[in-house]
Amino acid sequence: GAVVSQHPSRVICKSGTSVKIECRSLDFQATTMFWYRQFPKQSLMLMATSNEGSKATYEQGVEKDKFLINHASLTLSTLTVTSAHPEDSSFYICSARRTKNTEAFFGQGTRLTVV
């Protein structure tokens, strides 16, 4: 399968600071990337769908000003958690796919802890 790399795998930040998470498709061009959040012992919840060159589409209840998503190239999407608070501590995971009707591949995930 194709490779999606997510960086960093773990990050600890202070409350009030911003954190950027990168999602890269290493061996294919991804027209669409998805960002999920997973709280402990819970399922993956879709936060937003990101299409290259256009604004991300956020799911209901997800604050677009807090979770900034940029998909500037066909191999990179970034999620920036702005003014992070302890309640933003979670596991964030991305997935990427070449085109519609193709499989989406997942990154390794990023465990964010806000202290």
Partner 1 sequence: AQKITQTQPGMFVQEKEAVTLDCTYDTSDQSYGLFWYKQPSSGEMIFLIYQGSYDEQNATEGRYSLNFQKARKSANLVISASQLGDSAMYFCAMRLNTGFQKLVFGTGTRLLVSP
Please report, as ranges, the residues that interact with partner 1 according to CB under 8 A: 1, 32, 34, 38, 42-46, 49, 57, 91, 93, 95, 100-101, 103-106, 108-109, 111
| Shorter beta-carbon distance to partner 1: residue 49 or 82 | 49
Which residue from 42, 46, 44, 71 is spatially nearest to 56, judged by alpha carbons? 71
Q: How far is the CB of 101 from partner 1 (least distance, A)?
A: 7
Nearest residue (CB) to partner 1, 5 versus 82 = 5
**CA-CA distance, 104 to 64, in Å (whole number)?**
23
CB of 8 to partner 1, least distance (A): 13
CB of 27 closer than 8 Å to CB of 3 = yes
Q: Rounded to whole angstroms, how far apart are CA atoms 76 and 12?
A: 22
Looking at beta carbons only, is 55 or 83 nearer to partner 1?
Answer: 55
Q: Which is nearer to partner 1, 40 or 86 (CB)?
A: 40
Nearest to 106 by CA among 35, 58, 56, 40: 35
Question: At closest approach, how far in Å is the CB of 5 from partner 1?
Answer: 11
Residue 109, Cβ density class (10 Å: 0-12 exposed, 13-18 middle, ≥19 buried): middle
